[in-house]
């Protein structure tokens, strides 16, 4: 599954794409992350599982600096985030570095976040023009290829409100792919969908995994975690309780806490 090259010409992605080391994050008196470390190598698909409030989404948002951890280190494609202290705690010291990282790290949200006033084609092609500096023609050509890849090329001229939830999420995935990222983050990509539409999105994520995309996926869907990931991390109360292959974590479970969680989520198959 591992790639040696990258989707962007001239860019080489190192073996370790994302590394989070001893990440702590609090909101007031609430400690959400209590020293989490994670390493995603090129081609890895890492699933983050756990109950609501376990810290999964917060960890994901720390990875692309939508949330700023109180302490700990973030390394992305061989570059460590630089920090400075401010009145409100530490903040990134180099905004150019933040922009560079976010350009190479695409995120797909639970609620799609498509621009309602733009067509599907415009949603997918806008960032490559405004952020990557591609020509409109080149960006739209790429957008059409990606919409075809996720199975909604026929919806290019429509607006998000005209699409089903599954189609909107597939458009959001195409938009993320249009940035030709080194890695992709998915925050509960199927939880807002009914089972039939969920299957459409799962199929796209499975295909990306087969193609060797580096992904971290926060999910409530144990079947998706089992079938798509090669590494599963179970978080509880801000700590990693278990981690390993899907077989090790989801089948040969060691802890009572994870066993109880899995019983509440239903079957893998």
pLDDT band at 1 (very low <50, low <70, confident <90, very high): very low
pLDDT (mean) for 115-119: 95
pLDDT band at 269 (very low <50, low <70, confident <90, very high): low
- Domains of the chain plus CATH, in order, are 1-104+203-269 (3.40.50.300)
In tens, the pLDDT along 169-194 reads: 999 999 999 999 999 999 999 888 88
Q: How far apart are CA 203 and CA 206, in angstroms?
A: 5
Q: Length of the chain in residues, anyone?
A: 269
Q: Among residues 50, 68, 56, which one has the least CA distance to residue 32?
A: 56
pLDDT band at 7 (very low <50, low <70, confident <90, very high): very low
Q: How far apart are CA 39 and CA 105, in angstroms?
A: 15
pTM, rounded to two decimals = 0.91
Q: Among residues 122, 111, 203, which one has the least CA distance to residue 156?
A: 122
């Amino acid at each position: 599954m591992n790639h040696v090259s990258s989707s962007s010409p001239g860019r080489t992605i190192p073996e370790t794409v994302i590394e989070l080391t001893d990440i702590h994050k609090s909101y007031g008196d609430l400690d959400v992350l209590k020293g989490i470390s994670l390493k995603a190598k090129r081609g890895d698909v890492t699933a983050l599982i756990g109950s609501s409030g376990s810290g999964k989404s917060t960890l994901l948002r720390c990875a692309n600096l939508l949330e700023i951890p109180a302490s700990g280190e973030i390394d992305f494609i061989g570059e460590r985030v630089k920090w400075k202290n401010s009145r409100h705690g530490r903040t990134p010291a180099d905004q150019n570095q933040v922009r560079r990282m976010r350009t190479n790290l695409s995120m797909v949200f639970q609620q799609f976040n498509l621009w309602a006033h733009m067509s599907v084609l415009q949603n997918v092609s806008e960032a490559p023009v405004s952020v990557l500096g591609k020509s409109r023609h080149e960006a739209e050509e790429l957008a059409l290829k990606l919409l075809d890849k996720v199975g909604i090329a026929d919806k290019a001229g429509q607006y998000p409100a005209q699409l089903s939830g599954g189609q909107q999420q597939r458009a959001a995935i195409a938009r993320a792919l249009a940035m030709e990222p080194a890695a992709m983050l998915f925050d509960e990509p199927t939880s807002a969908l009914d089972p039939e539409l969920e299957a459409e999105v799962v199929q796209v994520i499975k295909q990306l995994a087969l193609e060797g995309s580096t992904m971290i996926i926060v999910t409530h869907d144990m079947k998706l975690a089992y079938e798509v990931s090669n590494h599963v991390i179970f978080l509880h109360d801000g700590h990693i309780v278990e981690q390993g292959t899907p077989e090790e974590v989801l089948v040969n479970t060691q802890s009572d806490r994870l066993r109880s969680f899995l019983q509440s989520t239903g079957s893998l198959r």
